[in-house]
Structure 1
Amino acid sequence: MIVFADGSPPMTPAGLLPAEQMILEKMSANPAVFRFASPSSLRFELRMRANILESAAALAQSGAQFSTFANSTCNPAYWTRSPKGAFELRPDVTPADAIRDIFRNGSLYSFECATAMVIVLYRAVIETLGDAVFNDRFANLVLYDWHYDRDLNLRRIDPASVLPGDVVYFSNPDVNPLTPWWIGENAVDMGNGLYFGHGVGVVPGDEIIRALNRNRVPFSTVSASLSDNVIAPDFRVMESWVNGYGMPQAASLGLPLSRTLMTVRIGEATELRFLPVAF
């Protein structure tokens, strides 16, 4: 259910992109209460969520491959690879151009699924707010596991109110120790039962579970499953950046979110410890 603080009537799908219409429909039908200052604030979240879905689909088609940290690869024209397998932004390129290169020259890249989720979210920010905002807010990028710039403002979400564009986690508790990267799968909820997982593509959730179950300890009877770990950017915070960059007037903010939120911050980067490194 959607509630507007300014008393606006329910939003209609007129003028929305198909992905935005799908997200609006699921948000409206969800029993959780989603509170917005005004319809313009809702439109901002719908647009960014749609850009997360589009970015996930684009990464699936980019040619970028899965690899462990030890075997990760990147385009040296944009990134410097550290000994531990992290990608560090070169000082002579912009953050937005470097993120876009992953989608343009995907065959030069390989990384694990947590890094893939961060890359998807970064591109969605670029597509929603533009290069100038991203380059200012996300300077000195490092791509590695769940390390990310604090301006991404990731929050833990109540699994009862998951929406397309949220990042979920499929857990494999009985993973075979010979293939520890199959401990789970970070994935973008694409809506209608589909998920994007780096290395498996955009597939139904059951297909991800089957892939994980093929990599359990012998004779295990504990199936992989979709966990309660769900994260998403804080859309209200990102919407609040709009005015500072000469962009259209943002809606007034300050309402409490209706979903349960949690984050852990460490210096300039943030780690979400509850999501293990996975396929």
Structure 2
Amino acid sequence: MITVSGIPFQQSGQLPLSSIERVIIQGMQNDSVVYSFQSIDELSFELKLRKNIVESAREMDQGDSHFEPFEESYCNPGYWNLTIAGGFQLKKGVKPSEAILDIYRNSSLYAFECATAMIIIYYHATLKSIGENVFNQLFQNIYLYSWHFDPDLGIHTIHTEQFLPGDVVYFNNPDVDPDTSWWRGENAVVLEDGTFFGHGLGIRTAWHMIQLLNEKRKQGSIRSAFLTNSVTRPTFKHLAHITHIPQRAPVHKLQYIVIHHNESSISCSRYLKYLMTYR
């Protein structure tokens, strides 16, 4: 169910929708959870950002970036410094927007694991949603490593079995072969047609994702990989509000500590547990 200013929302042409946005609206309306918005603009922003997350995921799938664990990661040195941990630190003097766009424009120069891929997709989709000027003001200290994120993205996880396009879900592989530990799971974007995009596995159905992960289990395992009920999302409302604040002199923003865990392909909920341990 959707409410706007406390009133049940009824689509009557007042909000022009793309085909992806119509699927998102239908998913919200069919959910037992109430999606409440203060205004049509707030609802419109979430629809736009979710649509852009889906489109950014599909664009990454069509690119040439490789899946690699942290120790084998690489990036374009014209925009990023590769850290010893396998992270990408934005170079001084480089616009954040240009660095994120370069990952898509020159994708063959990049390799990263699937959690980092999700953060790249979030930044790329947010850039398309808010424009370069606001993006460059908000995200001046981008560091790409696993699920590390800028506080203004407001990334969080919830437990639900109802997925919407633009959500990120996690396929867990509990009996992963220790020799290929980077297949311990797969972070994947929910697409509008019910399929999922996971960096390294591409666009697949849930059944196919699970079968591919099952091929990476240790010998003798009888436990199947499975789709968890952990859903990761940015805080859409915060982004909608902060991007409409009149531009002013940048304010120093405290960044989250980076947890260099060296465990490729972990879930966001696992990373957040690590983060809470050190806060």
- Between stretches 54-63 and 29-38, larger displacement belongs to 29-38
Alpha-carbon deviation of 1:39?
2.2
Match of residue 270, structure 2, among 261, 266, 274: 274
Q: Deviations over 1:181-200 (max 9, x none)?
A: 11000111113320010011
Deviations 1:192-218 (A, max 9, x none): 320010011111111110110001111
1:10 paired residue number: 10
> SS of 1:178's equivalent?
helix
Give, as a single letter, the amino acid of the residue that structure 1 aligns with 2:2. I
**Do the aligned partners of 2:4 and 2:37 also contact (CA within 8 Å) in 1?**
yes
Match of 1:25 in 2: 26
Quote the Cα distance in structure 1 between the aligned partners of 2:241 and 2:255.
Answer: 22
Displacement after TM superposition at 1:110 (Å): 0.3
8 A Cα contact 1:229 1:275, kept in partner: no
Q: 3-state SS of the aligned residue for 2:178?
A: coil
CA deviation after TM superposition for structure 1 residue 133, in Å: 1.4
Distance (Å, rounded) in 1 between the aligned partners of 2:241 and 2:256: 20
Report what 2:251 is aligned to. none
CA contact 2:149–2:155 (8 Å) conserved in 1: no
Structure 2: stretches of 5+ with no match in the other structure: 248-253, 260-267, 273-279
Instruction: Tell me what 2:195 maps to.
Output: 194
Conserved in 2, the CA contact under 8 Å of 1:20 and 1:50? Answer: yes
Displacement of 1:17 in angstroms is: 1.1
Residue matched to 2:244: 243
Is the Cα–Cα contact under 8 Å of residues 32 and 161 in structure 1 kept in the other structure?
no
Alignment of 1:219-230 (within 5 A): 219-230=220-231
2: CA distance between counterparts of 1:12 and 1:215? Answer: 49
Measured after TM superposition, the shift of residue 243 of structure 1 is: 2.4
Identity value in percent: 40
- 8 Å CA contact 1:64–1:106 kept in 2: the answer is yes
**C-alpha displacement of 1:100:** 0.3
Aligned residue number for residue 77 of structure 1: 78
Task: Tell me by how many angstroms 1:40 deviates.
Answer: 2.1
Q: How far apart are residue 179 of structure 1 and its match?
A: 0.7
Tell me which stretches of 4 or more aligned residues in structure 1 moved more than 3 Å.
266-273
Tell which deviates more after alignment, 188-197 or 174-183.
188-197
- Whether the aligned pair in 1 keeps the contact of 2:6 and 2:36 (CA below 8 Å) is no
Instruction: Give the structure 1 partner of residue 121 of structure 2.
Output: 120
User: 1:146, 1:270 within 8 Å by CA — same for their partners in 2?
Assistant: no
Does the 8 Å contact 1:8/1:38 carry over to 2? no
With normalisation by structure 2, the TM-score equals 0.87
What's the RMSD between the two structures over aligned residues? 1.9
8 A contact 1:150–1:269 mirrored in 2: no
Structure 1 CA distance, aligned partners of 2:125 and 2:196?
Answer: 16
1:49 is the counterpart of 2:50: yes
Residues 89-123 of structure 1, C-alpha deviations (whole Å, 9 max, x = no match): 01121001000000000000000000000000001
Conserved? CA contact 2:88–2:143, under 8 Å: yes
Judge conservation of contact 1:133–1:245 (CA < 8 Å) in 2. no
The answer to whether the Cα contact below 8 Å between 2:157 and 2:232 also exists between their aligned partners in 1 is yes
Q: What is the CA-CA distance between 1:73 and the residue it aligns to?
A: 0.9
Q: Secondary structure at the match of 1:147?
A: coil
Is 1:107 the counterpart of 2:95? The answer is no
Amino acid at match of 2:179: L
Give 1:9 shift.
4.2
Q: Distance in 1 between the 2:36 and 2:162 partners?
A: 12
Instruction: Assess if the C-alpha contact under 8 Å between 1:81 and 1:87 holds in 2.
Output: yes
Does structure 1 conserve the Cα–Cα contact (< 8 Å) formed by 2:5 and 2:38?
yes
| Count, aligned residues | 257
Report the Cα distance in structure 2 between the residues aligned to 1:101 and 1:81, rounded to whole angstroms: 15
Q: Determine the C-alpha separation between the residues in 1 that align with 2:132 and 2:105.
A: 16
Q: In structure 2, what residue type is equivalent to 1:36?
A: F
Gaps of 5+ in 1: 247-265
